[in-house]
Amino acid sequence: MSVLARTEELLSRPWTLSYQEHLDAHGTLPALAPHEVIALAEGAGLRGRGGAGFPLARKLRTAAQGRGRPLVIANGTEGEPAIRKDSTLLMHVPHLVLDGLALAARAVGARESLIAVHSGLVAEAVTQAVAQRPDRVQVHVVPPGYLSGEASALTRSVLGGPALPFVRDVPLAVRGPQGRPVLVQNVETLASLALQARFPGRPPTVLLTVRGRDVQVLEVKIGVTIGAVLDTAGETDVQAVLAGGYAGTWLSAPRALDVPVSHAAGTLAAGLLLVLPHDACGVSAVAQLARYLAGQSAGQCGPCANGLPALAAAWELLAAGDPPAGTVDRIERLAGLIDGRGACGLPDGAAVMARSALEAFADDIVVHRTGPCGRRSAELPR
Ligand code: SF4
């Protein structure tokens, strides 16, 4: 397990390997046939690192078998304000991501590939890297926002439409908006593919953003416990952990420390471990997250547009203390109403976050039924 970057200062300084430095450090990319790339992804068990964790090989195969020339998009948008792993990767080793993009394009027979990022230092680092390479990749700058990196929203934005999700009858890898397959793949997944091509059999690792006293990006093996990660990061004051992302799972300590970081445990997702210290109020943290998620909804789907603000309001009443009778029941009911009812995964994630919080902060919720708990309000990046 290693710490790749510590503190916001380091993350805000471009520290990009040039193409030649990248070749010197990693060697040239092997010329693999399409089926070999897919076999490599399958053998290593690579899964998407944007949040959904879908098996990469299956997605590559689907796009390769679709009708028409696929479009391949490397997703480096990282819309969550607490997560820094993808931007760290793009600012330090962008050529590893671009190598992975070239491999994915080869695997599916694409002639067109691009990398999508938000404007700023990351876009500058990526644009500079793309200009140094012999292959042709476009850089697409996406408007800021939590949802603009959602796969269907990103595809629409790339094709000239608004960066908003849309309802799909089939996966994008089967058929996108123009009738041809669209492969949207997170940049960390692509970097892992490029590493596997050079070092087949290398045990796959994942990047985590640990946000507690400090902000750090760590490279870890899948299955390591949350406790081991926090030890390495030097985070010792742990009341609870939010694992995965803002629409992730709350776990209370000490139980959280024995839980593995893995797809199976539901703790990996977009790779966030957010540490809540003992002096902060967990209920206020949940209320802030619920309000944040409600603010990200594009308002296109009724259950989400109405349900997320109602869920946030219920958590805010609970956080303030002495809420109206039935507030906790209302949270449970609202979580059930929004779950699985949107065009994208935002309401499902909000439901997961809310339900896990009811369990992780059960004791605090009892206190809040009669008044505020007296702890300070948590401060989460928004
Ligand atoms: S589910 Fe919510 S966030 Fe997603 S597209 Fe519909 S309204 Fe927008």
For residues 163 and 30, membership in a common domain is answered with: yes
Mean pLDDT of the chain: 92
Does the pLDDT value for residue 1 go beyond 80?
Answer: no
Atom from ligand 1 closest to the CA of residue 344: 4
Q: What is the model's pLDDT at position 204?
A: 81
For residues 343 and 231, membership in a common domain is answered with: no
Does the pLDDT value for residue 17 go beyond 90?
Answer: no
C-alpha distance from residue 328 to each of 229, 294, 319 (Å)? 33, 18, 11
Cis peptide before 254 (omega within 30 of 0): yes
Q: Per the domain annotation, does 86 fall within a domain?
A: yes
Residue 170 burial by Cβ neighbours in a 10 Å radius (0-12, 13-18, 19+): exposed
Q: Per the domain annotation, does 382 fall within a domain?
A: no
End residue of a domain, out of 198, 214, 235: 198
For residues 322 and 224, membership in a common domain is answered with: no
Atom from ligand 1 closest to the CA of residue 297: 3
Q: What is the model's pLDDT at position 294?
A: 94
Ligand 1 center from residue 151 Cα (angstroms): 13
Rounded CA-CA distance 158/24 in Å is 33
For residues 174 and 266, membership in a common domain is answered with: no
For residues 121 and 24, membership in a common domain is answered with: yes
Q: Per the domain annotation, does 295 fall within a domain?
A: yes
End residue of a domain, out of 221, 246, 276: 276
Q: What is the model's pLDDT at position 365?
A: 97
Mean per-residue pLDDT for 135-144?
92
Rounded CA-CA distance 243/353 in Å is 10
Ligand 1 center from residue 292 Cα (angstroms): 14
Q: Is residue 280 a contact partner of residue 377, using CB atoms and an 8 Å limit?
A: yes
For residues 125 and 246, membership in a common domain is answered with: no
End residue of a domain, out of 223, 241, 276: 276
Q: What is the model's pLDDT at position 141?
A: 95
Mean per-residue pLDDT for 35-52?
94
Q: Per the domain annotation, does 37 fall within a domain?
A: yes
Q: Per the domain annotation, does 41 fall within a domain?
A: yes
Chain segment 62-75, per-residue pLDDT in tens: 999 999 999 999 99
Q: What is the CATH number of the domain that holds 210?
A: 3.10.20.600
3-state SS assignment for residue 264: coil
Q: What is the model's pLDDT at position 51?
A: 84
> Which of 147, 152, 296, 348 to probe ligand 1 with, by most ligand atoms within 8 A of CB?
147
The number of CA neighbours under 13 Å toward the Cβ of 284 is 18
Does the pLDDT value for residue 302 go beyond 90?
Answer: no
| Nearest-CA residue for atom 3 of ligand 1 | 297
Buried residues in 346-363 as b, exposed as e (16+ CB within 10 A) = bbbbbbbbbbbbbebbee
Q: What is the model's pLDDT at position 15?
A: 66
Of 51, 49, 32, the C-alpha closest to 40 is 32
> Which of 334, 346, 348 to probe ligand 1 with, by most ligand atoms within 8 A of CB?
346
Chain segment 226-248, per-residue pLDDT in tens: 999 999 999 999 999 999 999 99
Chain segment 244-283, per-residue pLDDT in tens: 999 999 999 999 999 999 999 989 999 999 999 999 999 9
301 CB near ligand 1 (under 6 Å): yes
Q: Per the domain annotation, does 42 fall within a domain?
A: yes
For residues 118 and 194, membership in a common domain is answered with: yes
349 CB near ligand 1 (under 6 Å): no
Q: Is residue 32 a contact partner of residue 106, using CB atoms and an 8 Å limit?
A: yes
Q: What is the CATH number of the domain that holds 317?
A: 1.20.1440.230
Q: What is the model's pLDDT at position 126?
A: 95
Chain segment 162-212, per-residue pLDDT in tens: 888 888 889 999 999 889 999 999 999 999 999 999 999 888 889 999 999
98 CB near ligand 1 (under 6 Å): no
For residues 184 and 212, membership in a common domain is answered with: no
Ligand 1 center from residue 159 Cα (angstroms): 20
300 CB near ligand 1 (under 6 Å): yes
pTM attached to this predicted model: 0.93
Chain segment 320-343, per-residue pLDDT in tens: 999 999 999 999 999 999 988 888
Top-confidence range, 151-155, 158-162, 267-271, 358-362:
358-362
Please give the residue range of the domain that contains residue 323: 280-377
Ligand 1 center from residue 353 Cα (angstroms): 16
Ligand 1 center from residue 345 Cα (angstroms): 8
For residues 157 and 14, membership in a common domain is answered with: yes
Q: Per the domain annotation, does 184 fall within a domain?
A: yes
For residues 54 and 135, membership in a common domain is answered with: yes
307 CB near ligand 1 (under 6 Å): no
Does the pLDDT value for residue 12 go beyond 70?
Answer: no
For residues 318 and 215, membership in a common domain is answered with: no
- pLDDT tier at 5 (50, 70, 90 boundaries)? low
Chain segment 86-127, per-residue pLDDT in tens: 999 999 899 999 999 999 999 999 999 999 999 888 999 999
Q: Per the domain annotation, does 340 fall within a domain?
A: yes
For residues 261 and 285, membership in a common domain is answered with: no
305 CB near ligand 1 (under 6 Å): yes
166 CB near ligand 1 (under 6 Å): no
Q: What is the model's pLDDT at position 382?
A: 85
Ligand 1 center from residue 322 Cα (angstroms): 31
Q: What is the model's pLDDT at position 322?
A: 96
Does the pLDDT value for residue 129 go beyond 80?
Answer: yes
Q: What is the CATH number of the domain that holds 121?
A: 3.40.50.11540
165 CB near ligand 1 (under 6 Å): yes
For the chain, the domain total comes to 3
First CA to last CA across the chain, in angstroms?
Answer: 29
Q: What is the model's pLDDT at position 9?
A: 52
